[in-house]
Structure formats: C-alpha cells, structure tokens
Structure 1
Amino acid sequence: MTNAPVATTTTPAEPKRFGLEDQVKRNPHPDFNKVENSRPGFETETAWKYTQIPNKDWKVGSGANDDSWKAHKKLEIDPYGEGRLPVDNYKTLISAVVPRPIGFVSTISKDGVRNLAPFSYFTIVNHDPPIFTLGFSGGRGNPKDTCQNILDTEELTINIISEWFVEAANFCSINAPIDVDEWKLSGLTPLPSSKVKPAHVAESAFSIEAKLIHSHEWKSKADENRATGVLCIVEGINFHVREDVINKDLNNLDISKLKPVSRLGGITYGRTIQGYEKLRPDFSKEEEKEEVKQLLQ
C-alpha cells in the first residue's frame, strides 16, 4: 500500500518493482511472527468512546495545552539536500503525515483482469462534486497495476477498510504480477457496481464508484527525465453504504460501527477508538470579548 516514488526495471520473470520498493525494508523485524506473538491480543472489547478534549478550559490566546515542546529544538531538513535520498523523504513523510485514510481500490484492466489494492496516498478534496485523489509510485511508463488500469479504463471503486477485514485488505498489498487477481487471494467478496465496471467490496461498509477526470505525472527533482509518480483525480459518482452504519437521513456514518483503519508509518495500522468534540469559534461573537480585543490590538 506504499507509494514509493522512483521507477526501476526488472526482468519479465520477476514481479514488477516500483522505485523505492527495493530500498524500503517492509519487514522491520528479523522474526515478525515472534514479535507479533509477544504482543497483547487484539482488544475486541474496546469500543468507540468520547472523552474530554485535552484541556476543556483552554482560553483564547493561551497556545499549546502542554509546554513540554519547549524542551526540544526543531531540526531543519532539506528534502533535496546533499546525501538525502528519496527513501529518506518517504520514510519521514509516511511516519509524519498520520493517520492517513486508506483507499482500497478495485479496478479492471483493459484485458479484463480484476485488481484490488490498498493505497494510503488517498483523500477527499471536494464534496460538490465529490472529488478524491490517489497517488501512485512509478510514472506512466512504469505504473502500478491499479494506476495503469485507471489510466486505461478511467473507472474504479474506492472502499473504506474496517477492522473486520483488515488482514484480507493488507494481503492485497502483495507485489503480484498484473495478471494475478487479488480478489481470489484475499477471499473478499465482489459486489456488482451500478455505474462502473469494477466491483466494490461487499465487506466494506462504505464504497465509492468513481471515474477518472484528470491525471498528472510527477518528475524527479534530481532527474527531470525520470518519472516518479502519478496523481489521479477521480469523481465519485455513486455510493454504497451498509444500512446499519448510516443514519436515517443518509448523511452521517456512525464511526463506532464503521471502525475505520488508518495507516501510520512503516507497516503500522491505526485504530480509531476515541475522540473528543470542540465547537468551532464564531468570529462575530469572539471579537466582542475583551480578551480577544486585547489580542487583536
């Protein structure tokens, strides 16, 4: 599900490689099973709950709720500095820009081969119309299978990953050849879509049928002739939502039932099990307060 930015070539017998894929250590542990078995079991009884915000008595102009940050200085990193490799920027960014939503994308190749893969370079950027972005490593000349399918057919579905099928979704990140059907490997269930050819994931509580509206190829800063990635901008044209997860007005999902999975750094996933609320300030009201007037002088 990673989006490493440099393209490489391989022999036909090998799985397709995508830039930094060979430089990033996907397994940070010598014996992952041993490490996994040493950890506490998954806390299935843990449910979503609201807590207070860290400082419910925060006052306007008072800054951070904890001063421990003052004990540390900030380092400056030039992403193009001497000796700084793209893999360094990759590791920094995926561990800093967190948590990231995961776009679990279903596509069909121009030859009719199904593909299913997760991507954490994904987000929503507009609601009217519904617009989403997906980032893929490798240029148009050496794209990931999902990217190639989108460029060729301009159709896809995006599925939100929840806790009850995270293992199957993770397996779809496998670097299989383009003619391998990840649906079969994962055991997940395809449901026919209404407005695009790719199926959506039955197990997903929220799925989006989408069509490509624009793509852009990125070039390396070190070598402007080397393509490093592709941005796909897609429009959501149809939604599928599980009936018990959305409210009766069909406009708000219950996060305690959705149980979304997010992406953190390395091979780490995150759970969404706590949250707090805070009203947005209204300037027309705040500007009348004496303490705000003083701050704005």
Structure 2
Amino acid sequence: MLFDLETLPPQDRYKIMSATIVPRPIAWITTKSRNGLVNAAPFSFFNMMGNDPPTIAIGIMPNGRVLKDTAANILETGEFVVNLVSEAHASAMNVTCIDAPPEVDELILAGLEAVPSDLVAPPRILGAEVAFECTNLSSLMTGPLQMIVIGRVLRAHIEDRFVLNQERCHIDTEALKLVARMHGGGVYARTTDLFHLDRPSWADWQRTA
C-alpha cells in the first residue's frame, strides 16, 4: 500500500508516521519564561544526534493555532532541561500533557518538585533518574508553528545508583526502566524486552564468506 504524504491531510500523515516510527524516547522538557513561569511537558519526537558537541533534537508541534509554551520559552530564553521518563514517573508525565494555560505550573499539578539546575535557569524534575541541561544550538521552523530544536547538552545528571563506573562512564541502562512512546492514543512501551546482535566487521565478513 502506497501513501502519498504530499497529498494526505496532516492528521493522516501523523497517524502513519507515529504508528511506524517506534519506539520513540520521551523528552520531558522543563522550561522557564522570562517572567519566571515554569513549564513542563513531554515530547516523543526526540533523540540523540551527536556527541561532539553533545547534541539532541526535539520536534515540537503546535498547540492548535499557537506556539506551544515549551517552544516559546526555548525561543525566548535559549535554555531548557530534558528529563527522561522512567516507568515510575509515567503517570506524572502523563499529567503534564494537560492543555493547561501558560500560568499553570504542570509540575505542581502532577505533584512533582523542581530542583535548581547548575547552568541553566529552568529547573530539573526531582526524582528524574536522568536530566540533561541544554541550550538552544539552533531552531528550525518546519511548518506553521512546527519547530525542530537542536540542543547542546551542557550537563548530564544521573542518579548515583545507576552509575556503574564513573571513570568509564558506564551506566546501568536497563535499571533506569525508561519508557518510550508507541502508536495511537496513550500507548507506551517498556525498555525491558531486549536482544543482542554483534556488529559485523568487514575483516570477519571476508574470513567467513
């Protein structure tokens, strides 16, 4: 079956892409406006894009006919924090999806606490197993009020119990119990069903061919 994404309406494009590009990690983003208002919201169009400099990318879609608070705050201040979402915080993360007005602090609504970041004004979420302090490296408007944010990661906060070896930067990834976004309305996946494949080398391939 062929789908022409050039002619399909936007909502149908969303259905096809979000149902097939899975699982997607969740960026639970905290920002702060110039007026000091804290905003928290999750975004599943998110991933790592490089390590030198450490770079992440986030896709932010519009909120109806206006720019989302997260996007507006990032454009206004150039700073944000990406908190990762574990299974333990999935319900609280879901609360912060709410379409609350800008003056509402979603963290308070979800019964969460904020803690100061080291280098950026937006706070981290207390209890989040991993949090990345970021600055806006570049922003690209890809459509009406639709934006891709490319962020530079300045600091990574990881709870001590998940650090296996600090000198070698070995992290107990499985123990983090992070969740990912799947398809449809409110479907998520656990990162516990894993399998391993060794990466092939050309030298080994030639020897066994």
**Which of 248, 267, 281 is 2:165 aligned to?**
248
2-side partners of 1:228 and 1:238: how far apart? 29
Matches within 5 A, 1:138-287: 138=62, 142-219=66-143, 227-249=144-166, 251-266=169-184, 267-287=186-206
**Which of 134, 137, 157 is 2:58 aligned to?**
134
2-side partners of 1:145 and 1:95: how far apart? 26
Residue 252 of structure 1, CA deviation: 2.4
> What percent identity do the matched residue pairs reach?
31
2:9 aligned with 1:91:
no
2:5 aligned with 1:79:
yes
**Which of 32, 40, 58 is 1:116 aligned to?**
40
After superposition, give the CA deviation of every residue in 1:76-108 in whole Å (9 maximum; x if it has no partner): 111023xx2110010111111000000000000
After superposition, give the CA deviation of every residue in 1:167-216 in whole Å (9 maximum; x if it has no partner): 00111010111111101101112111000011111211110000001111
1-side partners of 2:109 and 2:166: how far apart? 37
Q: What's the TM-score once normalised by structure 2's chain length?
A: 0.94
Specify the code of the residue in structure 2 equivalent to 1:161.
Answer: V
After superposition, give the CA deviation of every residue in 1:48-97 in whole Å (9 maximum; x if it has no partner): xxxxxxxxxxxxxxxxxxxxxxxxxxx1111023xx21100101111110
Residue 271 of structure 1, CA deviation: 0.8
Specify the code of the residue in structure 2 equivalent to 1:246.
Answer: V
Please state whether the residue corresponding to 2:74 is helix, strand or coil.
Answer: helix
Give the strand-richer structure, 1 or 2.
2
2-side partners of 1:241 and 1:123: how far apart? 17
Specify the code of the residue in structure 2 equivalent to 1:128.
Answer: D
2-side partners of 1:218 and 1:274: how far apart? 35
Q: Which of these two proteins has the greater Rg computed from alpha carbons?
A: 1
2-side partners of 1:196 and 1:232: how far apart? 16
2-side partners of 1:202 and 1:257: how far apart? 18
Residue 255 of structure 1, CA deviation: 2.7
Residue 228 of structure 1, CA deviation: 4.5
Q: Note if contact 2:165-2:171 (Cα within 8 Å) is conserved in structure 1.
A: no
Structure 1 residue runs of 5 or longer lacking an equivalent are: 1-74, 220-226, 293-297
2-side partners of 1:248 and 1:138: how far apart? 41
The number of residue pairs the alignment matches comes to: 206
Please state whether the residue corresponding to 1:240 is helix, strand or coil.
Answer: strand
